[in-house]
Chain A
Amino acid sequence: MNTLASAITEAVEAVRAQFTGHPVEVVPDGTGGVFVTVEDVPVGPSYAPAVTWLGFQISAAYPDADVYPHYVGPLSRTDGQSHGPAVQSTGWRGQPALQISRRSNRRDAIVDSAALKAERIRLWLADQ
């Protein structure tokens, strides 16, 4: 059994609510936070595949810490172009991934939750 700060358990519940119907894997990161992976997330017709996983860490310093960066499974652009700024190939938790580096400027720790940021990241990626 793992014990986590209540802010993190609340954040995880909000992620589950935000992505209702999607499998959500939550794994303790060993230092009081969690790694979260949301499965079957649609990222739009600009990418192949159009559905992938979205991963991120909610650290023990949350909500003071931002949730950054985010990771998705390897994606290719259907227009054949390369990915633009803030998207780069990397690995996450032992698997190939794209890293999405979108910091939250003027972040409010109360308002800018892990769940809302995950959805913003998904929408931003779909718009590229």
Chain B
Amino acid sequence: MARRPVNPPAEGWSLTIPHRLWTELSAHLFPFGGGAVLLAGHAEGARGPRLLAYDLITATNDTAYIPGEYGHRALAPSFVRDAAVRARDESAAYLAVHAHGGLDRVRFSSVDTASHERGYPALRQITGQTVGGLVFTPHAAAGDLWLADGSRTPLAETVIPGGNLLRLRPCPVTATPAGPGHDRQARLLGDVGQATLNRLRVAVVGLGGVGSILVEELARLGVGTLVLIDDDTVEATNLPRLVAAGKDDIGQLKTDLAARNAQRANPRIRLIPKATRVEHPEALNELALCDWIFLAADSASARHWVNATVQQFLIPGVQVGVKIPVDSAGCVGQIHTATRIMLPGDGCLWCNRLIDSTQLAIDMHPKAERDAARYVPGVPVPSVITLNTLAAAEALNHFVLAATGLHDDDHDHAAVIHRPRTRQRDLQDPRQDANCRWCTPAGRLGRGDSGSVVQTATL
């Protein structure tokens, strides 16, 4: 396949399509053309409003995608009606999709535009939601959105978080050369790759042994904005594992230490420290505005709330962990590090039995009751900086290659398990429960602001 353009994040309205949905849509659109409707939730984003595709309704050629009265083909009225009713009932955006020829550039034809002007005002009135048209080539996308408030706007970009974090625009972006500080790095990532990193907003949840390494390297890579989430303070036993920590830091917030290190690594970085647990609304609201989430906290509550944000707001992430089993006699078991890619619409942490519902219940207790709520008291687990580095490096390399489109395979998002004692390295594909309440269209996938992470009701 021809090399795709790499586009930095754009300002304005965006659409995110889960990788599995994009794979299905691509097979329907290319190379012979086809019609479809995407249903999408809504959320605010760091650079503008976001549409979050969660389901695809494909139109069967000749019955639902039929010869058009004005253009080549059109969606059949009954198909449009049924899809619009679903959009209305599910408070979802209705986005009609078709394909054009070409590869890196695309735009609507005059026939397309005339069709939008004939149909979308009425469709918007029927659904009460944002409606619009999208046109794709394999490497480009354009959109014409008719917003629920009566206005009309173009779609700035379409984001597909898969093995690579694709950003499709109507035509490729050219970037100015990276500054001298990142020259050697940009020789691999490209100027647009470097510009992409500079425009990303990345969260690190958990700023301990793994998180402090992530923050240091993300800042040096040139990531533009870091959201730092941890409510913990530095203890003496943390010092050997926290990057650039000293005795004077004992008792200080880990967010303060991480912010100081990030600033020293990159004085131009924008920092958003949140010294709270991740389930706090302030932290969740910041997470929902990110382009990528690193989960470096090992509690069940951190796993649950990050997993929820990944699926509900279609934000890719990676979970990083280190397991060092040592029994009461001091015997060391199979050490392993795990780097799990978290893709919206794919097998999530619940599907893969990586969250314990009882432990989650305990984690959600007030701090004063949390320890007492454990039937068997917890004991400190081993932690070693070299093992943390192994897991962090895997996660960071995956991120930087994904963000700049350098992975060989868009479909590869297997977890990486390292076993340092035997020097084995294995890949594990995630499994998915067909009816998962988080990562399938039957659940909260792509529901954005109307999903349960932020949805409230009055008691």
A interface residues, Cβ below 8 angstroms from B = 1-9, 12, 26, 28-34, 57, 59-61, 64-69, 86, 88, 90-93, 99, 101, 103-104, 107, 109
Residues from chain B with Cβ under 8 Å of A88 in the complex: 375
Task: Determine if A4 and B457 form an interchain contact, defined as CB atoms under 8 angstroms apart.
Answer: yes
Q: Of B360, B437, B457, B459, which is within 8 A of A66 by CB?
A: B360
Q: Quick check: A57 and B457 within 8 Å, CB to CB?
A: no
What are 29 A-B pairs at a CB distance below 8 A? A1-B458, A3-B457, A3-B458, A4-B457, A5-B452, A5-B455, A5-B457, A6-B452, A7-B452, A9-B457, A29-B366, A31-B279, A31-B280, A32-B281, A57-B364, A61-B305, A64-B304, A64-B355, A64-B437, A65-B360, A68-B358, A69-B373, A69-B375, A93-B369, A99-B372, A99-B373, A107-B357, A109-B357, A109-B437
Q: In the assembled complex, how far is the CB of residue A66 from the closest CB belonging to chain B, in whole angstroms?
A: 4
Whether A68 pairs with B369 at a CB distance below 8 angstroms is no
> B360 — which chain A residues lie within 8 A by C-beta?
59, 61, 64-66
Q: Are B455 and A6 in contact (CB-based, < 8 A)?
A: yes
B456 touches A (CB below 8 Å): yes
Q: Closest 10 CB pairs between A and B?
A: A59-B364, A101-B375, A3-B456, A6-B457, A103-B358, A65-B360, A68-B361, A66-B357, A65-B361, A66-B361
CB within 8 Å of A: which B345-376 residues: 350, 355, 357-358, 360-362, 364-366, 369, 372-373, 375
Chain B residues with Cβ below 8 Å from A60 are 279, 364
CA distance A4 to B454 in the complex (A): 10
Q: Mark B297-317, 1 if CB is under 8 A from A, else 0.
A: 000010011000000000000
Nearest CB in chain A: distance from B350 CB, A: 7
Contacts of B304 in A (CB 8 A): 61, 64-65
**Which residues of B are in contact with A by a Cβ distance under 8 Å?**
279-281, 301, 304-305, 350, 355, 357-358, 360-362, 364-366, 369, 372-373, 375, 437, 452, 455-459
Which residue on chain A has the smallest CB distance to residue B452? A5
Give complex CA distance A30, B280 in Å: 10
A125 CB → nearest B CB, Å: 15
Task: Closest A residue to B456 by CB, please name it.
Answer: A3
Shortest distance between the CB of A19 and any CB in chain B (Å): 17
Residues of B within 8 A of A26 (CB): 459
Of A29, A34, A61, most buried by chain B (CB within 10 Å of CB) is A61
A4 and B358 form a contact (CB under 8 A): no
B279 touches A61 (CB 8 A): yes
- Give the contacting residue for B350; candidates A59, A64, A92; CB below 8 A: A64
Residues of chain B with a CB closer than 8 A to A1's CB: 458
Which has the most chain B C-beta neighbours within 10 Å: A30, A67, A101?
A101
Q: 8 more A-B contacts (CB under 8 A) besides A59-B361, A68-B362, A104-B357?
A: A4-B456, A6-B456, A32-B279, A61-B304, A66-B358, A69-B362, A104-B358, A109-B357
Q: Are B457 and A67 in contact (CB under 8 A)?
A: no
Chain B residues positioned under 8 Å from A65 (CB to CB): 304, 357, 360-361, 364
Cα distance, A28 to B459, chains bound together (Å): 9
User: Is the beta-carbon distance between B459 and A31 smaller than 8 angstroms?
Assistant: no
Assuming the A-B contacts A4-B458, A26-B459, A109-B437, are A67 and B372 also in contact, with contact meaning beta carbons closer than 8 angstroms in the complex?
A: no
From A4, A34, A92, A104, contact of B369 by CB (8 A): A92
Q: Which residues on B sit within 8 Å (CB–CB) of A30?
A: 366
Q: How far is the CB of B211 from chain A (nearest CB, A)?
A: 22
Residues of chain A within 8 A (CB-CB) of B375 are: 69, 86, 88, 99, 101
**A1, B279: Cα distance in complex, Å:** 21
A69 CA to B376 CA, complexed, in Å? 12
Given A61-B304, A68-B361, A34 contacting B355 (CB threshold 8 A)? no
Collect the chain B residues with CB atoms within 8 Å of residue A3's CB.
456-459
List residues of chain B with CB within 8 A of the CB of A66. 357-358, 360-361
Contacts of B305 in A (CB 8 A): 61
